Amino acid sequence: MPNPLKPEKSVVTTCAYCGVGCGFKAETRGGKIVRMIPWKEGKANHGHSCIKGRFAYDYYNAPDRVRTPMIRASINDPWTQVSWEEAFSHAAKELKRIQAKYGVKSVGAVSSSRCTNEEIFLVQKFARAVLGNNNIDNCARICHSPTQFGLTNTIGWGAASQHFDSILQADVIMVVGANPTEGHPVFGSLMKRRIRQGAKLIVIDPRRTETVKSAHCAADIHLAIRPGTNVAMLDSIAHVIVREKLYNEAFVRARCEWNEFENWMGLVGSDRYAPEVVGPMAGVDPEDIRAAARLYAGGPNSAIYYGLGVTEHSQGSTGVMCLGNLGLSCGMLGREGVGVNPLRGQGNVQGGSCLGSWPHVFSGYRFVTDDATRQSFEAEWGVSLDAEPGLRLPNMLDAAVAGSFKGMYVMGEDPVQSDPNQHHVIAAMKNMECVVLHDLFLNETSKYAHVFFPGSSSLEKDGTFTNAERRVSRVRKVVEPLAGYEDWEITVKFMNAMGYQTSYSSAGEVLDEIARLSPAYRGMSFALIDRIGSAQWPCDENAPEGTEVLHRVKFPRANGLGAFMLTEYVPTAERTSDQYPLLLTTGRILTQYNVGTQTRRTANSMWHPEDVLEINADDAAPRGVKDRDWVRISSRFGQIELRAALSSRVNPGVVYTTFHHAKSKANAVTSDLSDWATNCPEYKVTAVDVVRISAPTVAGADEGAKPGVAAPAKELEPAE
């Protein structure tokens, strides 16, 4: 008798959660997904997975998924369900009306790292070719934009220099501002495997994360810095390398600009970066700084992996440049086992960066001001393009508050929940005359939207993702799109409704266009990826099946040399005071993903039903706060209410929370400070105070929070 539970079909696709980009075999029965099996041939995961990709897929079929387009004249009106044609026509009419009244540059677009490369590319094409301006940004603005800036300026490409498996040849692993065992679990397991084989581990992080100590792994050196002192700490490590002459002179002479190296030595070698000066300021033993520097420089193979704990600072780009400088000075680039590697948070942040979803560059990081580049896009797209860089998302929001920016197409993003200074974002949204939101669910931003396009999840469409190691993998349609169209089709139809005629017979044709216009993707195609499984860019005639390790011979800069950037430490303006004596920093937990839009709609919620505030007993006791008490967290920008979790993971003076639940509103307290170069918000440092309260005063704040059920600081072991 046939097994009624046996899957009928399976499709190989890529997990859309984190930047590891695990391959999965999605099995279906009766047109519904019944199981996700980690794909053994997946080159990013080799058959491993974590609890998110394996089990948190049900969100696609959640009862509150929007399946019909909707419009409304005002944000105070109820939504009206309409046909797709009516939604496209209404949105197009509104954006065109706004442009006619307020000017071509009064509107813009935002794309998301949850979307495929093809969709991200089409949304920036929508802004440039259809709206006629460069007002296009993506959510990497608020996470890894400093990576692009910092690495481009030092080693030439804003991307990981290695493939994940390269870590198996590292002797020393330095993790800075990242917690891979929770944020990138499959890579975290690979890292632990290497540490069990004998590699040394240095962790620079304010918190004793699971990466610092767990059953399978312990850091040899943990520099538990005060939030906001990254740059001083990295300069101090460089100080030891310079003063003790631990640098690789032969590498620097052969591969770098020597005069810039000398300038850099002059800066970091100064007395103000001595461990005895930086250590007390950062809350770290100076001898530990010296030990970390000697360990890293000694290698022989030392690899750096870093995350948002580096980038989301007012000196985020400077912190990234510090890491580029360290790699160059010690010759830790250009071979297996070394490198400087951003651990991208979302599944396609790297793709979001590569595919031109920025106001100043086309795909392949080429400037809109460059005539030859612009002409190549004009020839392909059949329109003339604006040579003036457009507005970044924070600038679009500022302009909306000021009254000059009036409309926006937002695909797969929730700026009201994700972006800093929520009150400012809401004021901007309320000032716009047409916000077109393209998403799966009604979210915080939908409260201020006028048109809603119901999108398709990654399980309902074709395309590609580029993971944290530059690996381009196929996203394949597992089930039919619930609202009728794949996301790339929706954007194309919106373009057509706006009067720009273009068509593609498949997402593969969009990738073909990307390949024609983007040098690093020149060899990419569905056919290639279907044949070899996945390929890391650059993929071109010189590397027809992609490139695992970058910078082997030269750096992709005009003269081929690595550049040392001057990285003076400038303390953040966000300071503690008598009124706000603690520093709040934020992070993620294994079972949940970012703001939880997907994972909170799955059974994974049982592991993390609420965000809590980790606080050291030394800070809790004088405030009368006990474990699981309600507390109010106040900053100069707002207040939130959470339960407290007494924890020795944070030092006295530092408190920590996750941001997976909308009701927690963590961004209501974060400052509006941002990275000096890229506007990436300073999410990781906010001066706060914490007081005990008897019960939450915000409606819904305790929703889902069941005393005795929540496991505040509990980490689950990822599958290895």
Question: Closest Cα partner for 341 from 219, 201, 158, 520?
Answer: 158
CA distance 633 to 538: 46
Residue 673 is a binding residue for ligand SF4 (CB under 6 A): no
H-helix or E-strand spanning residue 528: helix 526-532
Find the shortest distance in angstroms from Cβ 18 to ligand SF4: 3
Find the shortest distance in angstroms from Cβ 358 to ligand SF4: 24
Find the shortest distance in angstroms from Cβ 184 to ligand SF4: 6
- Cβ closest to ligand SF4, residue 302 vs residue 594: 594
Find the shortest distance in angstroms from Cβ 183 to ligand SF4: 9
Q: Taking the CA of residue 237 as centre, how many other CA atoms within 13 Å lie in the half-sphere pointing to its CB?
A: 33
Question: Closest Cα partner for 615 from 627, 604, 605?
Answer: 627
CA distance 637 to 428: 17
From candidates 13, 25, 26, 53, binder to ligand SF4 by CB under 6 A: 53
Place of tokens 């044949």: 531
Cα dihedral across residues 230, 232, 238, 241: positive or negative: negative
Place of tokens 């990295």: 234
Q: Is the Cβ–Cβ distance between 486 and 461 less than 8 Å?
A: yes
Question: Closest Cα partner for 295 from 283, 284, 303?
Answer: 303
Residues 28-47 that bind ligand SF4 (CB under 6 A): 45
Q: What is the DSSP letter of 648?
A: T
H-helix or E-strand spanning residue 583: strand 582-587
From candidates 12, 18, 435, 583, binder to ligand SF4 by CB under 6 A: 18
From candidates 12, 50, 333, 490, binder to ligand SF4 by CB under 6 A: 50
What is the CA angle 659-602-477, rounded to 5? 105
Residues 284-323 that bind ligand SF4 (CB under 6 A): none
Find the shortest distance in angstroms from Cβ 552 to ligand SF4: 27
- Cβ closest to ligand SF4, residue 131 vs residue 178: 178
Please choose, out of 48-56, 228-236, 294-302, 318-326, the segment that lies near ligand SF4 by the rule CB under 6 A: 48-56
Residues 164-203 that bind ligand SF4 (CB under 6 A): 184-186
Please choose, out of 20-28, 204-212, 423-431, 524-532, the segment that lies near ligand SF4 by the rule CB under 6 A: 20-28
Q: Which residues contact 245 (CB under 8 A, 6 or more apart)?
A: none
From candidates 13, 33, 39, 49, binder to ligand SF4 by CB under 6 A: 49
Question: Closest Cα partner for 6 from 34, 31, 25?
Answer: 34
- Cβ closest to ligand SF4, residue 52 vs residue 471: 52
Find the shortest distance in angstroms from Cβ 414 to ligand SF4: 19
Find the shortest distance in angstroms from Cβ 717 to ligand SF4: 13
- Cβ closest to ligand SF4, residue 185 vs residue 523: 185
- Cβ closest to ligand SF4, residue 53 vs residue 523: 53
Residues 505-544 that bind ligand SF4 (CB under 6 A): none
- Cβ closest to ligand SF4, residue 15 vs residue 173: 15
Find the shortest distance in angstroms from Cβ 454 to ligand SF4: 24
Residue closest to ligand SF4, measured at CB: 53
Q: Is the Cβ–Cβ distance between 41 and 533 less than 8 Å?
A: yes
Q: What is the DSSP letter of 531?
A: H
| Residue 680: alpha-carbon gap to chain centroid | 11
From candidates 12, 15, 131, 495, binder to ligand SF4 by CB under 6 A: 15
Please choose, out of 15-23, 26-34, 204-212, 376-384, the segment that lies near ligand SF4 by the rule CB under 6 A: 15-23
Classified as helix, coil or strand, 165 is helix
From candidates 12, 13, 21, 147, binder to ligand SF4 by CB under 6 A: 21
Q: Is the Cβ–Cβ distance between 416 and 110 less than 8 Å?
A: no
Q: Is the Cβ–Cβ distance between 78 and 86 less than 8 Å?
A: no
H-helix or E-strand spanning residue 237: helix 230-243
Residues 57-96 that bind ligand SF4 (CB under 6 A): none
Residues 427-466 that bind ligand SF4 (CB under 6 A): none
Find the shortest distance in angstroms from Cβ 45 to ligand SF4: 6
CA distance 240 to 202: 16
Please choose, out of 18-26, 110-118, 313-321, 515-523, the segment that lies near ligand SF4 by the rule CB under 6 A: 18-26
- Cβ closest to ligand SF4, residue 158 vs residue 718: 718
The 10 Å Cβ neighbour count of residue 311 is 33
Find the shortest distance in angstroms from Cβ 594 to ligand SF4: 11
From candidates 13, 17, 191, 359, binder to ligand SF4 by CB under 6 A: 17
E strand segments, 245-386: 302-306, 340-342, 361-362, 366-367
What is the CA angle 528-337-305, rounded to 5? 90
Find the shortest distance in angstroms from Cβ 47 to ligand SF4: 11
Residue 52 is a binding residue for ligand SF4 (CB under 6 A): yes
Question: Closest Cα partner for 136 from 456, 387, 408?
Answer: 408
Binding mask of the shown chain, residues 359 to 398, with x at each position contacting ligand SF4 by CB under 6 A: ----------------------------------------
Six-digit token string for 356: 């031109």
Residue 453: is it exposed, middle or buried by C-beta count within 10 angstroms (0-12/13-18/19+)? buried
Find the shortest distance in angstroms from Cβ 21 to ligand SF4: 5
Residue 20 is a binding residue for ligand SF4 (CB under 6 A): yes
Question: Closest Cα partner for 498 from 125, 72, 91?
Answer: 91
- Cβ closest to ligand SF4, residue 374 vs residue 471: 471
Find the shortest distance in angstroms from Cβ 51 to ligand SF4: 7
Binding-residue total with ligand SF4 (CB under 6 A): 14
Place of tokens 């799109």: 481
The residues binding ligand SF4 (CB under 6 A) are 15, 17-18, 20-22, 45, 49-50, 52-53, 184-186
